Chains A and B, each alone.
Chain A
Amino acid sequence: MIPERLLNALILLGLIAVPAWALWADEPFTITLATRAVILALAAVGLNIALGIGGLVSLGHATFFGIGGYAMGILAFHAQSYTALEIGPLTLEGTKSMPVIWAVAVVFSALAAWGIGLLSLRTSGVYFIMITLAFGQMFFYFAISWSTYGGEDGLSIYLRNGFPGLNTLDPIQFFGLCFAILCAVLFAKARLMASPFGLALNAARQVPGRVEAVGLNPQRLKLVAFILSGAITGLAGALFADLNRFVSPTMFSWQFSGEIMILVILGGVARLFGPVMGAVAFVMLEHWLGGLTEFWHIALGAILLGIVLFARGGLIGILTGKGAAHG
C-alpha cells in the first residue's frame, strides 16, 4: 500500500513524465492525450467540490463546462471573423487572449451556478439530481438552436488562442499551461478543504441540523460550494474548447455530466487527487480499449460497477489501502 501523499506525487510525476517522453520520442498525439486528461481532471476537480465535500450529486455540470467552452468559442469567433459582439446596447470586440477568455468563462459559469444552485438547492436527493439534469438539458437545446454560433454543428476556431509569452500551438507548451492551472487549482482546493469554509461544508454534508444549531446556514455553504465548483468546471470547458479548437452542444450534453461524475467515482470521491487519477485512468482506457474495440464502454462499465460495489474509495482508495473517505 502506498501512502496517499506519495501516490499523489507519483500521479503528478507521471503526468509530467509521459508528455516529456512523448516530446523526446516525437509523439505529439500522446501530449494531446495527456492534455485531455489534465483538462478532464480539472473539470472533475471542480465537480468534486460540490460532490465530494458538499455531497451535492450534480448531473448538470456539463452546463458549466459548456458555458466555459462557448465563452471561448464566442469570443474567439468574433475575433477571427472581425465582427462585433453585440449584447443589448453594448458592442464588444472578440478576443483571442486566453486570460480574458478564462475570466469570462469563470464569471459566466459562476453566475450560472449561482442561479441554478439557488433553485436546485431547495431540493435534495433524487430531485436535486433531476433538477440539475433539467438545467443541463435546457442549455443543451439552447446551444443546438443558437444558429449564430453554429447551432448543432458547433463552432470551429482556426487558431488556438494566445497566452502572453507562450506559443500555445506547440502541444507541449499548451500542456504545460493546462498542467500549471490544474496544479494551482489542486493547491487551492487543498487549502479550501482545511479552511473554516471546508470544515463547515464538510459538516453541512454530514449533519446539516448541527450546522444550523451552531448558527451557520448549511444551504448557503452548499450554494457557495456549488458556485466554486461550477466556476472551475467552466474554466476547464474553456481549456477543452481550446484543445480541440472546436465547441459544440455536446459539451452541454448530459452524457458529459455523467462522464465527469464517472471520473470522480473512478478515482475516489472526496480525495483531493481522486478526479485526477480518474481522468488519467479514463483517458488511458478510452485510448487503449477504444483502439481495440468500439464497445470499450462495456469494460468501463464493469470497472465502475466493481468500484461502486467493492471499492468505494475508488482507485486512490485501492492503491492507498484506505476505504471510502466517506460513505
Chain B
Amino acid sequence: MAEVVLETRGISKAFGALKASQDISLDLRKGEIHAIIGPNGAGKSTLIAQICGTLQPDAGAVLLEGQDVTGWPARARATAGLGRTFQISQLAMEDSVRENVLLGALGARGTPWSFWKSAKADAALTERAEAALERVKLMEQADVKTAELSHGQRRQLEVAVALTLQPKAFVMDEPMAGMGAGGSKRLTGFLDELRAEAPILLVEHDMDAVFALADRISVLVYGQIIATGTVDEIRGDPQVQAAYLGEEA
C-alpha cells in the first residue's frame, strides 16, 4: 500500500443536535485522487474545514505525513504542506491575477516581512508565481484585474494559488463548480497529471469528473462515510445507490 500522506482518525463534529461529522476516518495516499461525494448537506464542507484547520473537531485527529496537526491553525497546516482550494473562490478581486499568485509564492517563502523591495521585482517570488500561472494557462491574463476574469478562469487561478505552495497534499473543494463543459474537461486533464506530484482529496459534484479521475471514492451521507472503494465498487454498491446515486446509476 502506498504511503499515507493525509489522514483523519475518527473525527466528529456536532452543531447542537446536528451531527455534521460522525467518526470519519479516511486517508489520502501518495499518487492518488481520493474523491469525496455526497448529497447536499452531507457534511462535506464541514469535513474539509476540519482537515484544513478552519474548524476544530470535537473528537478525533487529523494527521499530515504522520504528524498530528489537529490543534494547528490553518496557516500552520498550509506551511506544513496542505494546499487547498476553496469552493467559493477566495481571491483578491481588486488585485491582478499575478498579485494573487505572488501571494501564494510569498506564503511558500513563509515570511511577508519585507517592506521596501518591490514584490514584482523579486525574481524568486515572480518565478514561482509565473510557473504556477503557466501551468493553469493563465499567463496571458497575468496583468488582468481578477474581478475581470471569467468564472472558469477564477477557478483555474484558485488552483494556481494552491500550486505556488508546492504542497504535499491538495484539498480541493469543488474545483469544477460552475465551470463550463470545456473548462471542466481541461481541469480534469490537469488534475489527472497533478496527482503524480501530490495526492488530491477532491470534493466534487461533477460525477463525470469524479468517475474519470478518482482512484478511490468515499461516500458521505448525513455526516457518515457509508462506503469507500474504487469507482466500480462504489457504482455497484447498493447502499450507495439507494442513498445517493439514485436513478442516476
Chain A residues near B (Cβ < 8 Å): 191-192, 194-203, 206-207, 209-217, 221, 224, 325-327
Which of B11-19, B119-127, B224-232 contacts the other chain? B119-127
Query: Does B67 lie at the interface of the complex (its beta carbon under 8 Å from any beta carbon of A)?
Result: no
- Since A203-B103, A327-B94 are in contact, a sample of 7 more A-B pairs with Cβ atoms closer than 8 Å, ordered by chain A residue number, is A191-B115, A195-B114, A200-B106, A214-B165, A215-B108, A216-B106, A221-B112
Contacts of B125 in A (CB 8 A): 196
Interchain CA distance A134-B43 in the complex, whole Å: 41
Contacts of A211 in B (CB 8 A): 75, 103, 107
Residue of B nearest to A195 (CB): B115
Do A207 and B79 touch (CB < 8 A)? no
Do B161 and A214 touch (CB < 8 A)? yes
Do A202 and B95 touch (CB < 8 A)? yes
Do A214 and B107 touch (CB < 8 A)? yes
Residue of A nearest to B88 (CB): A209
Task: Give the Cβ gap from B33 to chain A, nearest Cβ, in Å.
Answer: 20
Interface size range on B against A: 35 or more
Interchain CA distance A195-B102 in the complex, whole Å: 11
Query: Does B92 lie at the interface of the complex (its beta carbon under 8 Å from any beta carbon of A)?
Result: yes
Contacts of A195 in B (CB 8 A): 114-119
Interchain CA distance A16-B118 in the complex, whole Å: 29
Contact A210:B86 (CB < 8 A) given known A196-B122, A199-B102 = yes
Q: What is the 8 Å Cβ interface bit string for chain B, positions 149-162, against chain A (1 contact, 0 not)? A: 00000000000010
Task: Give the Cβ gap from B130 to chain A, nearest Cβ, in Å.
Answer: 15
Interchain CA distance A198-B116 in the complex, whole Å: 9
Query: Does B91 lie at the interface of the complex (its beta carbon under 8 Å from any beta carbon of A)?
Result: yes
Query: Does B78 lie at the interface of the complex (its beta carbon under 8 Å from any beta carbon of A)?
Result: yes
Do A199 and B99 touch (CB < 8 A)? yes
Contact A197:B110 (CB < 8 A) given known A207-B91, A210-B91, A215-B79 = no
Contacts of A210 in B (CB 8 A): 86, 90-92, 103, 161
Task: Give the Cβ gap from B96 to chain A, nearest Cβ, in Å.
Answer: 10
Cβ contact of B118, chosen from A194, A201, A214, A221, cutoff 8 A: A194
Contact A200:B103 (CB < 8 A) given known A212-B78, A214-B161 = yes
B61-83 with Cβ < 8 A to chain A? 73-76, 78-79
Query: Does B31 lie at the interface of the complex (its beta carbon under 8 Å from any beta carbon of A)?
Result: no
Contacts of A327 in B (CB 8 A): 94
Main secondary structure of the interface of A (DSSP, over half): helix
Contacts of B117 in A (CB 8 A): 195-196
Contacts of A202 in B (CB 8 A): 92, 94-95, 99
Residue of A nearest to B99 (CB): A199
Sample of 20 A–B contacts (CB below 8 Å): A191-B115, A192-B116, A197-B114, A198-B115, A199-B99, A199-B102, A199-B106, A199-B112, A202-B94, A202-B99, A203-B92, A206-B92, A206-B93, A213-B75, A214-B75, A215-B78, A215-B79, A215-B165, A216-B107, A221-B112
Cβ contact of B78, chosen from A194, A206, A214, cutoff 8 A: A214
Q: Identify the interface centre among A196, A202, A210: most chain B CB within 10 Å of its CB.
A: A196
Residue of B nearest to A199 (CB): B119
Q: Identify the interface centre among B73, B76, B102, B115: most chain A CB within 10 Å of its CB.
A: B115
Interchain CA distance A202-B104 in the complex, whole Å: 13
Do A198 and B119 touch (CB < 8 A)? yes
Contacts of A224 in B (CB 8 A): 113
Query: Does B84 lie at the interface of the complex (its beta carbon under 8 Å from any beta carbon of A)?
Result: yes
Task: Give the Cβ gap from A221 to chain B, nearest Cβ, in Å.
Answer: 6
Query: Does B52 lie at the interface of the complex (its beta carbon under 8 Å from any beta carbon of A)?
Result: yes
Interchain CA distance A182-B122 in the complex, whole Å: 27
Query: Does B54 lie at the interface of the complex (its beta carbon under 8 Å from any beta carbon of A)?
Result: yes
Contacts of A201 in B (CB 8 A): 112
Residue of B nearest to A327 (CB): B94
Contacts of B118 in A (CB 8 A): 191, 194-195
Contacts of B161 in A (CB 8 A): 210, 214
Task: Give the Cβ gap from A9 to chain B, nearest Cβ, in Å.
Answer: 21
Residue of B nearest to A325 (CB): B94
Contacts of B113 in A (CB 8 A): 196-197, 224
Do A213 and B119 touch (CB < 8 A)? no
Residue of B nearest to A190 (CB): B118
Interchain CA distance A117-B1 in the complex, whole Å: 50
Closest 8 A/B residue pairs (Cβ)? A214-B107, A215-B78, A200-B112, A215-B79, A210-B90, A215-B107, A196-B114, A206-B92
Contacts of B106 in A (CB 8 A): 196, 199-200, 214, 216
Contact A207:B107 (CB < 8 A) given known A212-B74, A214-B78 = no
Cβ contact of B112, chosen from A213, A216, A325, cutoff 8 A: A216
Interchain CA distance A191-B113 in the complex, whole Å: 13
Residue of B nearest to A326 (CB): B94
Do A214 and B108 touch (CB < 8 A)? yes
